[in-house]
Amino acid sequence: MGSSKKREFSPLTMAVLTVSDTRTEETDSSGKTLVDKLTEAGHILGEKVILHDNIYEIRAVVARWIADPAIKVVLITGGTGMTGRDVTPEAVAPLFDKEIVGFGELFRWLSYEEIKTSTIQSRAIGGLSGGTLIFCLPGSTGACRTAWDKILNDQFDSRHGPCNFVELLPRLQEK
């Protein structure tokens, strides 16, 4: 930790969205992985939804979560590939006030260690909307595990230094 000041853990309320035309609550291993990871880390699940690959339904649910002051983080799995059905980035990016460019870059760099050049097919993105952090991840369980374990867990832990997203949350809407 880069600071000598002792930090306390601050749990965040998070929402999880699985985008898939085929997954059900029973077969949604990626969404379940994210729910398990966030609750094991001490965070709170605000809501979990599964939607078909529909740009307007995705945008509507994410916009509702952005408007909910309790939801601080939205984790989306699925729909970030390159096929015609993959519309998650197109649905969500217009809602961003700011893109967190480094998230997609770091995710693909880390994924390269696991899946080599296939990582160029990932359109994982992150951004900020109001006071809500939003991350769009690939639909594979392995990709969700990589994103959480190697990036997001530390950034959602208020004790992580030298900096983390939690300490920024109160200032995200400053003008």
Sheet holding 44-51, edge to edge: 44-51, 13-19, 73-77, 132-137, 125-129, 98-99
Q: What angle do CA 136, 100, 11 make, to 5 degrees?
A: 70
pLDDT at 5: 63
Prior bond to 89 cis, omega within 30? no
Please state whether beta strands 125-129 and 44-51 pair in parallel, antiparallel, or not at all (unpaired).
unpaired
Q: What is the residue-averaged pLDDT of the chain?
A: 94
- Per-residue pLDDT band for 2 (boundaries 50, 70, 90) equals very low
Tokens 């760099």 -> residue: 109
9-43 tens-digit pLDDT: 999 999 999 999 999 999 999 999 999 999 999 99
Does residue 4 surpass a pLDDT of 90? no
Instruction: Pick the closest to residue 122 from 97, 100, 147, 98 (CA basis).
Output: 147
37-68 tens-digit pLDDT: 999 999 999 999 999 999 999 999 999 999 99
CATH code of the domain made up of 13-170: 3.40.980.10
Average pLDDT over residues 97-110: 97
Average pLDDT over residues 65-90: 96
106-158 tens-digit pLDDT: 999 999 998 898 788 899 999 999 999 999 999 999 999 999 999 999 999 99
Instruction: Pick the closest to residue 146 from 100, 101, 175, 115 (CA basis).
Output: 115
pLDDT at 1: 44
Domain boundaries, given as residue ranges, for the chain: 13-170
Average pLDDT over residues 149-174: 93
